[in-house]
Structure 1
Amino acid sequence: MALHYPIAFSTLACPDWRLERVAAAAVEYGYNAIEMRTLDGVVVSSELLTHELLRIRTVLRAHELQLIGIGASTRFASPDAAERAAQGAELRRLLEVASALEVPLVRTFGGVPPIGTSDQDAAGYVVAGLEPLLADAERLGVQIALETHDAFSRGALVAMVLMRCHIRSSRGSGIFCTRCASARRLRRPGSSSGACGACACEGWQAEGSAERRA
């Protein structure tokens, strides 16, 4: 029986292992794929992955493993537009690396806004940082995933970002929420396209579901 979604683990679970050991262990333990958050004990960056591109491709092919995601360190909840632009440049480079490796998804943090920032403003900063990347993500065939972490652990705040970003993507969804059980295409109730909502993203629902989440 073919797996619709491969069984995978993150290299964050074994940060001190070299890639070759990670791949061998994945095969031994029955995994089909990995997500790359660290490489050889170093948190990934576009520079590191670009330098190791050929090696990554060779090792994964030799072990018949998929790379299902790249875990970025980028954050966008800053009110400083220059800081968001710098983070966006790094995420754009990671999208290009993901495309070269045929990786379908790159996840990013929303981040921690300054104390006293309203939810609307915090979501607005993240939207302002991510919107310029949606066209590139679509062109490259890579999805951006918003990590449910830091201030963006709450579904309501995640939903603010997703609702405001999805209208910029002609594919219907340029960004997913990582709390969802799978990276399914989801829609806003009553609409033909949308982003995410299978988790606690209030007011959103999965396609085919008649139940709206409160």
Structure 2
Amino acid sequence: MNLNRRLFLATVLSGFVQMSFKKGRKLCFSTLGCPDWTWEEIINNAEKYGYKGIEIRGIGAEIDILKSPVFSKAMLKESKRRAEDSGIEIVNINPSSKLHETDVQKRKANIDEVKNYVDLAVELDCPFVRVFPDKFAFKNDKQKSLNLISEGLQEVNEYANGSGVKVLLDCHGDLVLSNDIKQVMNEQPANSSGIIWDYFNMHYQTEESAATMVKALKPYIEFVQIKDGSFTNRTTHEYFLPGQGQVPIDKVLKELDKIKYKGFISLEWEKRWHPELPNLEKALPVFSKVVNA
């Protein structure tokens, strides 16, 4: 076989492997993007737009799904069955819980909420529960602040141990620098937890590259959220349809490909907090096209 033919076949094979890997990407979306949808509409639209999973951050007017009738004792089994029958995985459920509280009662309430979400996740066969870090409680002592977050994460990890559910730390609030996140995660028992990688949240404050983030956090990336927006608007978060903002989605995906990431990639379309955004129906096909380009 001559050199040109070998190069041709190698190029074709490489392209085929890359295409196959891209086709294997699993897409989901957060219900932040559809605060007006019922559970039935959420499932129907996931099917319609080819999404295999959903990340639950509120249903309808209720942000705390522990209070939602959809997951009440009377409805939980039917709600779960409806998703399963459609081949839709409930991938991640999101309380508003934070690990930075210093007040004893507030801290207990937040940690107890995470534990209650872990219990719900078990019933839903959902692998992940998200928790916010969130702020550095001691403004003049970052290490003490990191310790507080780490200790809270350890407590909820211990509760989830053996349940089949992992509590994932969101890269959010003050905890967005890769090395700070890495320190907190290094203090957790091996394989007990992970992170939600959100490039926008991190880069908006740190200006770190996707490569820098992944190099530091590779062992801990269990779930990925993507949103697109402006980094030049420093007064408020300004979001755009995927591919129309300043987030280098192609570079984010390239870094995920390098580490052979096979988990879900979630569209976080924050319409609940930004009602001026277009409806989720407009963002879903755009996101799918951009991610699978």
TM-score (norm 1): 0.76
Q: Which has the higher helix share?
A: 2
> 1:107 offset after TM fit, Å?
0.7
Letter in 1 for 2:213: A
For structure 1, the 5+ residue unaligned runs are 182-197, 210-214
Letter in 2 for 1:118: D
Q: Alignment identity in percent? A: 21
Q: 1:27 aligns with which of 29, 38, 47?
A: 47
Aligned pairs (5 A) from 1:142-153: 142-153=165-176
* Structure 2 counterpart of 1:185: none
* Structure 2 counterpart of 1:175: 193
* Structure 2 counterpart of 1:44: 64
> Greater CA radius of gyration, 1 or 2?
2
Letter in 2 for 1:79: T
Aligned-pair Cα RMSD in Å? 2.7
* Structure 2 counterpart of 1:63: 86
Query: Deviation per CA, 1:103-158, whole angstroms, max 9, x where unpaired?
Result: 00011111223362422111111122121222321221101111111111222221
Q: 1:74 aligns with which of 97, 112, 125?
A: 97
Query: Taking CA–CA contacts closer than 8 Å with sequence separation of 6 or more, which of the two structures ends up with the larger relative contact order?
Result: 2
Q: Relative to 1, partners in 2 of residues 1:114 and 1:138: Cα closer, same or farther, differing over 3 Å? A: closer
> 1:38 offset after TM fit, Å?
1.3
Contact 1:11 1:37 in 2 (8 A): yes
For structure 2, the 5+ residue unaligned runs are 1-19, 200-210, 221-257, 260-293
How far apart in 2 are the matches of 1:94 and 1:199? 32
Query: Deviation per CA, 1:46-92, whole angstroms, max 9, x where unpaired?
Result: 34364142242132123221111111210011222332222111101
Contact 2:57 2:65 in 1 (8 A): no
Tell me the number of residue pairs that the alignment of Structure 1 and Structure 2 aligns: 188
How far apart in 2 are the matches of 1:50 and 1:28? 23
> 1:4 offset after TM fit, Å?
5.5
Q: Does 1:7 align with 2:30?
A: no
SS at match of 1:152: coil
Q: Does 1:107 align with 2:130?
A: yes
TM-score (norm 2): 0.57
